[in-house]
Structure 1
Amino acid sequence: MKNEPITDWNAFLAPYGQAVEELKVKLKGIRKQYRENNNHAPIEFITGRVKTKESVLEKAEIREISLDRLEEDIQDIAGIRIMCQFVEDIHEVVKLLHARKDFEIVIERDYVTNKKESGYRSYHMVVEYPVQRGMDVKKVLCEIQIRTLAMNFWATIEHSLNYKYRGEYPEELHARLIRAAEAASLLDKEMSEIREEVKEAQVYFADKKKN
């Protein structure tokens, strides 16, 4: 590892924070358009975050990334998470993102169709997003994760446990996580079976709120 070349971490992370905020506004705009047209919005809600200096350095150390290669080799310094009600919504959001012209998709990983061995399911995109900084434009990488609420519940729990066990789970706990992932997947399948009824009920409820 090289000596740390970054002296001003606030300045280094600022473009990533701007990218996250701008993408959140744009994605919320998509959701708003669907709802204003009384259509089911494939986006339920959006969250975003920027890794801290400590988190960036920890990942660089674990993956043996040179500190002068952080911008290129750590793809999730900026992160957006898009939550969906149904698995079908994930694929709709992917299409919407492919149609956009304000960023370039550089990597896609479909862990919905091809789940990880651990049971993890989500759709990942890494996009190169141009941020206007004064008179200059800086392109930063941002990871977008698209998942259902059930997928997110499982992944959030697994992420917390992974910090404790560093991926080396006791055998019984690992088996329980696999079963929990299967249960989350079954929930998504059941919800997909009744999604038309759910969507109709949501439209009805939205109309009642307006009156």
Structure 2
Amino acid sequence: MSQTILYARVSTADQTLDHQRVQAEEAGFKIDEVVADHGVSGLSCNLADRPQGRRLFDKLRRGDVLVVRWVDRLGRNYQDVTDTIRDFMRRGVVVRTVINNMTFDGATTDPMQEAVRDALIAFMAATAQAQAEATKEAQRAGIAAAKADAKRYRGKKPTYDAATLTLVQEMAAKGEGNSAIAKATGLSRQTVFRIKADPAAAETALERWAS
């Protein structure tokens, strides 16, 4: 007896297994079983290397239907996704997507229909990988921008450390002049002047660069 299996891949906190099942059922699929992997990347981890993804290769039989929200749930690596779908089709498994209601099977023997089907599989797999790589690049750019913003917020790195700052404050409290303090600490007279003028700001600058 054939069965309809929903495969769900939940890779982020924003995605849920329930949401993917509800979407499938609302699209008219009668799901017999749900197989799901949690917290795995579709770009770097092939379907067969995931704990539950491996189960699909063991469970699916000729006549079964594999339902996925879209091909990116199978993976975001072009070669893996195209190889996987073609492998399932050779086994007699029908692969269907909830989004766009696409159906991929190996029943057709017409070469033109096969060519169109294979081209569509390739296009969807390539799109999934391109989207994943674009997302990663945007994340890298966002992290770099955040680091740059944090550096700008911290201002210029102080030329003194905590021990030097303490020495400046102690010598200033004893009435030592800027030149004498500068000579003793190795700081410029301007830096000594700024520390003496606003000790709290000098300490805050050190704290910003402590992390």
Shorter-chain TM-score above 0.5: no
Hey, which of these two has a bigger chunk of helix by percent? 2
* Higher RCO structure, 1 or 2 (CA under 8 Å, sep 6+): 1
- Greater C-alpha Rg: 2
Could you tell me the TM-score, scaled by structure 1's length?
Answer: 0.28
Could you tell me the TM-score, scaled by structure 2's length?
Answer: 0.28
